Amino acid sequence: MDVYLAIGATVFGAIIGSFLNALSFRWGTGHSVLRGRSRCMQCGHTLGWRDLFPIFSYLYLRGRCRYCRSRISVQYPLVEAVAALISIVVYLQNPLSLFAYAFWLMVWMTLLFVAVYDLRHTVIPWACTIALAVLALLYLALHFGFGGAPGLAQVNDGLTKSIIWALLAGPLLALPLFLFSLISRGTWMGWGDGALELSLGWFLGLAYGASALMIAFWSGAFVGVLLILLSKLTPTASSRGRAQRFTIKSEIPFAPFLVLGAFIVYALHLNFFITLPLLWQ
Ligand SMILES: [Zn+2]
């Protein structure tokens, strides 16, 4: 590991995070995604260079706009910090290959965007799902077609040795999510979640993918129960905008949990199904 490259990767990640923030507010709202300077959401003041340092500007301004003192969404520094973390983890997993770093950075930043967008708008952009599926199939093509592209080997390398199982991993892991959507007609779980899981299955393979799905379900259930309990404890919260009452029927975006589970498995090489690959080795 090169310390300077690691620091560079962290800074680069935070800058991408800053861009993803802007994108999550502008995409699909009629605003131009690329044109137009960043402005305060409240007073509309154009932000200066001092306001645009990822994480640090937020901390320095103590979460308030420099011009009108209104609160800045905590989403900004959080997404920037998570993006920085993703970039450093991807670098540590691929310290020797710029191609592998760039490839996995693209994958994880798209997934981070999907998670943030789902949290904000409770919908997964189809453009992202399709882009991820293309990247996943490209990954499998490189992995199997060319004997493993240099440095591209990831957590499912050595576990998913058969191309048939590697291809089946996506549909098999997405199947339970699609069934949830089918049974509930999209009310328990959106169709986008199954479509997203398809790519995650291809990226991680069956054993790691199933581990990631398990983390997603457990963390999702934990947060869901927590939100219901919190809304019961604070009965007056329902009148306050975002702090709506959560019930068992409330739509909780699931993509953030799918992405969280996948990233934990990717970063820590966590496998709860270590014996699973023996089935086809
Ligand atoms: Zn302002």
pLDDT tens-digit readout, 128-160: 999 999 999 998 888 777 655 544 445 554 455
C-alpha to C-alpha distance for 187 and 248, rounded to whole angstroms: 11
> pLDDT value at position 238?
47
Do 108 and 76 sit in the same domain of this protein?
Answer: no
Sign of CA dihedral 224, 229, 233, 238: positive
Residues 87 and 128 in one domain: no
Query: From the CA of 61, how far away is ligand 1's center (Å)?
Result: 12
Q: How far apart are CA 19 and CA 38, in angstroms?
A: 10
Instruction: State the average pLDDT for the chain.
Output: 85
- Cα(121) to centroid(ligand 1), Å: 23
Q: How far is the centre of ligand 1, averaged over its atoms, from the C-alpha of 186 (Å)?
A: 38
Instruction: Tell me, yes or no, whether 105 and 84 share the same domain.
Output: no
Torsion over CA: 56, 262, 98, 154 (sign): positive
Which residues have CB atoms below 5 A from the ion given as ligand 1? 40, 42-43, 65, 67-68
Q: Which domain holds residue 82?
A: 1-93
pLDDT at residue 271, rounded to an integer: 81
- The alpha carbon of 51 and the centre of ligand 1 are apart by a number of angstroms equal to 11
| Residue 105 banded pLDDT, cuts 50, 70, 90 | very high
Q: Are residues 112 and 6 in the same domain?
A: no
Distances from the Cα of 239 to the Cα of 107, 125, 224, 234, angstroms: 39, 30, 20, 11
Ligand 1 centre to CA of 53 (Å) is 16
pLDDT of residue 185: 83
Two tokens at 244? 């709506």
Centre of ligand 1 from the C-alpha of residue 36, in Å: 16
> Per-residue DSSP letters for 204-267?
HHHHHHHHHHHHHHHHHHHHHHHHHHHHHH-GGGGGSTTSPPP-TTS----HHHHHHHHHHHHH
Q: How far is the CA of 43 from the centre of ligand 1 (A)?
A: 4
Which residue carries 């935070």 as its tokens? 14
Q: What average pLDDT score do residues 179-185 get?
A: 90
10-68 pLDDT per residue, tens = 999 999 999 999 899 888 776 766 666 788 888 989 988 899 899 999 999 999 999 99
Separation of 276 CA from ligand 1 center, angstroms? 54
Q: Are residues 13 and 106 in the same domain?
A: no
- The residue from 41, 69, 93 where one domain ends is 93
Taking Cα atoms as reference points, which of 114, 269, 82, 116 lies closest to residue 196?
A: 114
Mark whether 120 and 180 lie in a shared domain: yes
Instruction: Please count the structural domains in the chain.
Output: 2
d(CA 20, CA 178): 28
Please choose, from the candidates 97, 94, 174, 98, the residue with its C-alpha nearest in 3D space to the C-alpha of residue 133: 174
- Residues 277 and 214: their CA atoms lie apart, in Å, by 17
Distance 22 CA to ligand 1 centre (A): 15
Q: What percent of the chain has pLDDT over 90?
A: 54
| Contact (Cβ atoms closer than 8 angstroms) between residue 205 and residue 144 | no
| pLDDT bracket for residue 89 (50, 70, 90) | very high
> Which of 54, 75, 93 represents a domain boundary (last residue)?
93
Ligand 1 mean position to 3 CA, how many Å? 37
Q: Are 269 and 192 in a shared domain?
A: yes
Same domain, yes or no: 83 and 219: no
Please indicate, yes or no, whether residues 18 and 130 belong to a single structural domain of this protein: no
Rounded to the nearest angstrom, the distance between the alpha carbon of 44 and the centre of ligand 1 is 6
Helix-, strand-, coil-residue percentages of the chain, each rounded to 5: 65, 0, 35
Are 66 and 104 members of one domain? no
Of 93, 123, 146, which residue constitutes the final position of a domain?
93
Residue 86: predicted pLDDT: 97
In this structure, the answer to whether residues 235 and 120 fall within a common structural domain is yes
pLDDT at 38: 83
- Measured from the Cβ of residue 263, the count of other Cβ atoms closer than 10 Å reads 21
Examine the domain organization and report whether 136 and 256 are in the same domain: yes
- Tell me how far the alpha carbon of residue 45 lies from the centroid of ligand 1, in angstroms: 6
